[in-house]
Amino acid sequence: MGFKDHFSRQAADYGLFRPRYPPELVAYVAAQARGHDLALDVATGNGQAALALAEHFELVLASDASATQLAHATAHPRVRYLRHGAERLPLAAGVADLLVVAQAAHWFELARFYPEARRVLRPDGLVALWAYERFRVDAAIDAAVEHFYQDVVGSYWPPERRHVESGYRSLPFPFTALPTPPFELTADWTLERTLGYFGTWSAVDRYRAAEGRDPLPDVAAALAPLWPEGTTRRLRWPIHLRLGRPGPI
């Protein structure tokens, strides 16, 4: 079965407009690993998590099924990019100290991915899945964004999006779970920068394909009175982290 490719068409924009993961999140996850020789970043996209992990591990293997996404990834001496799907990892058993999936586990065939994750991890290895949901700014902006998210492009979200909306609590996690502190992703963006981010949403891409028009001008018009041109607003995305060790199933 082919992988669910919702992002290759906007791969260049994905690298430009997606927010960066907070260093304290990556540092915390790395600190829970019992070894720091090899980390895997599965479904790396443009390599954002892989580059952050390279600050903590000798080698990061960053994989993605999309050649287009990998073409926009950033090179790093301790990051090696590979093209393959998440459900069949081309690694020997028991070699990885850490396996990370950032903002992508909800797209996987988890019944096939989880045994592979367990196979490639060391017995005392660590698996980390995280995702961020909708950002918050203030009541007026949040209401306009919520209308766009739910009422305009809402019917074009793939069904797997529900796992992000649940904070990954609805995602199966057959590992020995570890407690995690809360994390938050923040960015100070202009409206123009935020519209670029909206353009990377899978629902917006599917809306354009189905409706033959771009929904962004309408949300731009709704937000413009609340967000004057050239001004920035502080955006806050809650991050939901699932952390665990192989342990017994």
**Rounded to whole angstroms, how far apart are CA atoms 71 and 121?**
27
Total-model pTM = 0.89
Say if residue 124's pLDDT is above 80.
yes
Which residue segment(s) compose the domain that 101 sits in?
A: 8-245
With respect to residue 236, please indicate whether it lies within any of the assigned structural domains.
yes
Q: Is residue 2 part of a domain?
A: no
* Region of 230 on the Ramachandran plot (φ > 0 left; ψ -120 to 50 alpha; else beta): left
Decide if 17 is inside a domain.
yes
Question: Which CATH number belongs to the domain containing residue 13 in this structure?
Answer: 3.40.50.150
In angstroms, rounded to a whole number, what is the distance separating the alpha carbons of residues 196 and 113?
31
Q: What pLDDT, on the 0 to 100 scale, is given for residue 8?
A: 46
Element (H, E) at 41: strand 38-42
pLDDT higher than 70, residue 12: no
**The pLDDT value given to residue 178:** 96
pLDDT the model gives residue 248: 58
Identify the pLDDT of residue 5. Answer: 47
| Residue 66 CA: distances (Å) to CA of 25, 86, 189 | 25, 11, 28
The rounded distance, in Å, linking the Cα atoms of 143 and 136 is: 10
pLDDT at 13 over 70: no
Q: In this predicted model, which residue has the larger pLDDT, 35 or 4?
A: 35
- Helices first, then strands: H and E counts in the chain: 10, 8
The per-residue pLDDT of the chain, averaged, comes to 92
Task: Tell me, yes or no, whether 84 lies in a domain.
Answer: yes
- Predicted local distance difference test score (pLDDT) of residue 11: 47
pLDDT grade for 14, boundaries at 50, 70 and 90: low
Residue 3 pLDDT grade (very low, low, confident, very high; cuts 50, 70, 90) = very low
- For β-strands 96-102 and 38-42, DSSP reports them as parallel
What tokens does 29 get?
A: 């996850």
Q: Percentage of the chain with pLDDT > 70?
A: 93
Give residue 186's pLDDT: 96
Number of structural domains found in the chain: 1
